[in-house]
Amino acid sequence: MSTTSRKELPLPGAGGGKRMRGVILPVAGWRLSGLLEAPHRLGFALAMLVLIGSAIWWGLVQWDRFTGHLGLRYAVSPTLTHAAVMSLGFIPLFFAGFLFTAGPKWLAVEAPSARQLLPALLFQFAGWCLWLAGSHGHLAVATVGLALALVGMTLMYVRFWSLLRRSPAPDRLHAKVVAVAGAVGLLALAGLLLALLAGRLDLGSALVRSGLWGFVVVTYVVVAHRMIPFFTSSAVPMVEVWRPFWVLWALLAMVAMEWLAVWAEWAGWPAGREWMLVRGLLELAAGSVILWLAFAWGLVQSLKIRLLAMLHLGFVWLGLSFVLAGLSQLLGLRTGIPLLGLGALHALTMGFLGSLMLAMVTRVSCGHSGRTLVADNLVWALFWALQLAVVLRIVAVLLPEPTAVTALSALLWALVSLLWGARLLGWYGRPRADGRPG
């Protein structure tokens, strides 16, 4: 993967032409077949469509809760629908684009073609579209959607496991952890399907959150551990690559603690203020370690380079989510109810996952479309709009009547998703800006 240039240059435009050595060269029109020229094009394009669709849908749900003008009706709890598609919907499709682009390089094996990945990714795309549609229409449609998504994700990880099995690379630890996380995600999605059939929405919610921590967050942490120090040292020479394996194991232990807490909370044991105190202190300690790690990885030095800063600031949200979770437990000791639960959750999902998604997908899309590795003014503005949406969602938890602020946060998330997705979708169907294949 290309390294970040320390001097940021303007991105060539998505349309109209590109400048090369003073000459304006025409850019070919957008073609659907262009999505099959590389795995990241197909995976990212389908992920963008699910992201945009789910973001607009959730914005409308929140607007209806605020105004009551739309009169929406539900066959599946909108909260569960939202949690599932935001955790297990578009994110695995983004994973596909990354794992079958960078993954084969990690493992020193031949990458599969986009055509080979097409069935797995189309099953997931169709499944999540049906999930959203069925949530308002018929439970059976939503159930079929989950089943299709499960089939597609299974096919996707079977292929990744086959790459891992054939790999001669001496260092396969990161890929192995990603593969195990994929198995956790499949179990969570299969469990959600069974819980939905059984009418156990409480169990379904716990399964989604266990998939979030055991699958999505684990994969993010592994990629962050491998790539953030590498990108930083490439762009800022005075920062060395520092990623000892004990740091990875420490991060995974913190994530495992939250995964176990999901099931402890669902089971109702352990409970009480003593448990809240212990959990709160552990989460505060974990958050402090992660924030220290963010500085050790070069947070301050990264701030001069936008695309790199986006990665580092996104990682900071992981530490803040643990701190907020710990404060939620400690501030709730008096009443026995955590005070900032949803705030901490959205610091994790919108802040950490959303920010790194925006940064990493932009980086890969620039590098593999022949464009300069930079965050231009549009991407930079969208990144800060996303930060505002996260802050608004956290603030909403503290308000006696949070509906309006929650709706504003959701609509801002939808706007960021739409503008960012439209920009990159325009790239995926066009030839590379530098004329190279891929």
Tokens (6 digits) for 428: 């995926």
HSE-up of 112 (CA within 13 Å, CB side)?
Answer: 27
Pair 373, 379: CB distance under 8 Å? no
The whole-angstrom separation of Cα 14 and Cα 351 is 27
The whole-angstrom separation of Cα 275 and Cα 277 is 5
pTM for this structure?
0.90
The whole-angstrom separation of Cα 47 and Cα 434 is 25
Give pLDDT, residue 369: 85
CA dihedral 179, 213, 421, 155 (to 10 degrees): 30
The whole-angstrom separation of Cα 65 and Cα 28 is 44
Tens-digit pLDDT profile for residues 340-353: 889 999 999 999 99
Give pLDDT, residue 245: 86
In angstroms, how far is the first alpha carbon of the chain from the final one? 13
Encode the chain (438 residues) as per-residue pLDDT tens digits.
Answer: 333 333 333 333 333 344 333 333 334 588 898 899 999 999 999 999 999 999 999 999 999 999 988 888 999 999 999 999 999 999 999 999 999 998 999 999 999 999 999 999 999 999 999 999 999 989 999 999 999 999 999 999 999 999 999 999 998 999 999 999 999 999 999 999 999 999 999 999 999 999 999 999 999 999 999 888 888 877 777 666 677 889 999 999 999 999 999 999 899 888 788 889 999 999 999 999 999 999 988 888 888 899 999 999 999 999 999 999 999 999 999 888 888 889 999 999 999 999 999 999 999 999 888 888 888 999 999 999 999 999 999 999 999 899 999 999 999 999 999 999 999 999 999 888 877 877
CA-based radius of gyration for the chain: 21
DSSP string, 318-354: HHHHHHHHHHHHHHTTTTTS-SSHHHHHHIIIIIIIH
